Structure 1
């Protein structure tokens, strides 16, 4: 997890627009290219890709915007991912249920119901699928796990070296390849890695934002696009802290 990022960027006006349907989104920040050289150690990934100390991710469907969100309770803080970004909301005092607030954005829930308030209005949310976060004890040596379907595939980034393990065809084929970082944008939670061996080109683009497994509906805090051999695969990902 990146030591350079201790909190997620928060802008009330932008967040309010993103949490309501029918609002234009702002242009993405330009990517920050980094020197594409092979390093001996694994890179520090943006903290927005990680659940912190949370034990579970929760999926929410919110109306009237029909937006799908992901949350994770991290101590006295709520981590919130929409399709367009992520925020941290500290816990606030409330008579019943649980309430989290950062500026003019608040998230209140009791049981499987939640309400989000912004300067632009309210969203009423119903909890959907939740899942246990991936942990280092279950995935030894892995700092980021990505997966997708049809055919079933996974990507694992090692925590001690810039090495990627790609498993496809539902576990029957496994390839381990070195990589280099071509983009590292901590503020946006965006990372792009490419092959360090030019004989087989690949690119993995990782972006923070609500993601849902297209078969199970399970929630994740990041989206992944994997390109290799002229094929493109899309899936979800989660950073795994020690």
Structure 2
């Protein structure tokens, strides 16, 4: 494949993301509602794009010719789709064979371990690469969102009932539990930032809906997570956990 073809298909994928994103809601109003919840010592509602819905599994897809990697979760009547640029929900459509999900001119057609993504600009041919069972409350009791990363192993957990963050560092040897405030809440974009402002020790957690793959196992997740704590920055993946 020559450089021009690669650039054309990169434009196809970018067009897909632009077509699906639409207009974002005003973050300030959503952040005010979330902060009201934290002031009342209640955990805020997180964007639905961080959750699998009723799906029990996430699938990772490797797509050509643009070398795109996608994550999906199949629900009863729709498909949740994550790319490196965001997240979308495609309603189920009628099709003679396989399973097709479509929103306007954007569609995802799945037949076994193969799939085709169609946009007004072209097609992507995808093959399933990895699967992962979605985390549940049985595995993570009382947790609304769980994120993790590697080398050294770390994790974060947001409590489902109060604005409380649990941080584990150095493979679980160091455990810190802290209250947080919401500084950004953008439901449409699936973006959340929580922090403790000027209170020591400073921390910030940035969560963004989008295809994420564990850098050791390759397992798929619907969100990218960045933790800043103790002067260090940690990057990994995460998932919302519904009751």
Q: TM-score, structure 1 length as denominator?
A: 0.87
- 1:115, distance to aligned residue in structure 2 (A): 0.6
- 1:21, distance to aligned residue in structure 2 (A): 4.5
Give 1:185's aligned residue. 186
Give 1:5's aligned residue. none
1:126 and 1:24 mapped to 2: Cα distance? 18
Give 2:71's aligned residue. 70
1:22 and 1:49 mapped to 2: Cα distance? 21
1:42 and 1:100 mapped to 2: Cα distance? 33
Give 1:6's aligned residue. none
Give 2:94's aligned residue. 93
Change in Cα spacing, 1:172 to 1:126, as seen in structure 2 (3 Å) is same
- 1:32, distance to aligned residue in structure 2 (A): 2.3
1:31 and 1:233 mapped to 2: Cα distance? 28
- 1:197, distance to aligned residue in structure 2 (A): 7.2
Q: Which runs of 4+ in 1 moved over 4 A?
A: 21-31, 35-38
Change in Cα spacing, 1:19 to 1:58, as seen in structure 2 (3 Å) is farther
Q: Which runs of 5+ in 1 are unaligned?
A: 1-16
User: Which range is displaced more, 113-122 or 92-101?
Assistant: 92-101
Residue 27 of structure 2, aligned match among 23, 32, 43: 32
- 1:95, distance to aligned residue in structure 2 (A): 1.5
Contact 2:15–2:121 under 8 Å retained in 1: no
The answer to whether residue 141 in structure 2 is matched with residue 140 in structure 1 is: yes
Q: Secondary structure at 1:20's aligned position in 2?
A: helix
Contact 1:18–1:25 under 8 Å retained in 2: no
The answer to whether residue 57 in structure 2 is matched with residue 56 in structure 1 is: yes
Contact 1:153–1:167 under 8 Å retained in 2: yes
Change in Cα spacing, 1:204 to 1:85, as seen in structure 2 (3 Å) is same
User: Which range is displaced more, 150-159 or 18-27?
Assistant: 18-27
By percentage of residues, which structure has more helix?
2
Q: C-alpha offsets along residues 71-117 of structure 1, whole Å, 9 cap, x if unaligned?
A: 00011210001111111111111121111111101111111111111
Contact 2:10–2:66 under 8 Å retained in 1: no
Q: Which runs of 5+ in 2 are unaligned?
A: 1-8
Q: Secondary structure at 2:49's aligned position in 1?
A: helix
Change in Cα spacing, 1:19 to 1:138, as seen in structure 2 (3 Å) is farther
The answer to whether residue 196 in structure 2 is matched with residue 204 in structure 1 is: no
Give 1:4's aligned residue. none
Q: Could you say what the CA RMSD is over the residues aligned between the two structures, in angstroms?
A: 2.3
Q: How many residues align?
A: 226
